[in-house]
Amino acid sequence: MTNRCVLVTGSSRGIGRAVAEAFAAAGDKVAIHHRASPTLAAELLAALPGTGHTVVQADLADPDAVKSMVDMAAERLGGLDVLVNNAANYTPHPITEVSYQQWQAAWQSTIGVNLVGTANVTWCAVRHMIAGGGGVIVNVSSRGAFRGEPNQPAYGASKAGLNAFGQSLALALAPHNITVAAVAPGFVETDMAAAHLQGARGESIRAQSPFGRVARPDEVAGAVLFLASPDARWASGAILDLNGASYLRT
């Protein structure tokens, strides 16, 4: 039982939900963040083991809302020890098939949440961590940061930027006793990926891994929980691939 105070962005569903469940099962208090899923967030809150959990809401593209959300999470939890930056936009926008206006909108919304919004959440969270004597930040990146995302290039670029951001902060925050690491999943069995996995491409996607399947949300959550543990302090700055050997980078 660890009893840490944990904020997980985008945790009303998918990977974020599994991460929130894993921390709660370990004895931590969790702030469930959502943008526009109050019912799902409330259902998760009711299902989490333990006490002291809470729900917070914000559009990560709104800097003022972000600050209020992080401060509220810290106040309700009694501090902030762990931040998991999981929330992300994933909007298809193949460069040869969208209008210039659609292209602009996709880049602005994706970078605004996945990179700038995450950076703002982190800035706010770090203030609470320093006041509490340290902390842990785990970023949820993507295989697409390395292999490319031809149909959603802004997503791939945002995750590559997130990796660079996290490694920069691993250097900057070590003197404050704050570690920063990342996980980079491939396809995961979530609502966001369901259309791909259940459609015509499903078989070929699963065949990308020699295991013949994609990741489960709990497998990603287990890696996040490890990187947030004291045993993983020396992994600060690391990016852990979680793609079932579907993409091997050198």
Question: Which listed residue (90, 100, 155, 247) is catalytic?
Answer: 155
State the SS3 of the chain: CCCCEEEECCCCCHHHHHHHHHHHHCCCEEEEEECCCHHHHHHHHHHCCCCCCEEEECCCCCHHHHHHHHHHHHHHHCCCCEEEECCCCCCCCCCCCCCHHHHHHHHHHHHHHHHHHHHHHHHHHHHHHHHCCCEEEEEECCCHHHHCCCCCHHHHHHHHHHHHHHHHHHHHHHHHCEEEEEEEECCECCHHHHHHHHCCCHHHHHCCCCCCCCECHHHHHHHHHHHCCHHHHHHCCCEEEECCCCCCCC
β-sheet bridge partners, residue 182: 139, 239
Say what the alpha-carbon torsion angle 119, 125, 131, 133 is, to the nearest 10 degrees: -90
The answer to whether residue 155 is catalytic is yes
Catalytic residues: 155
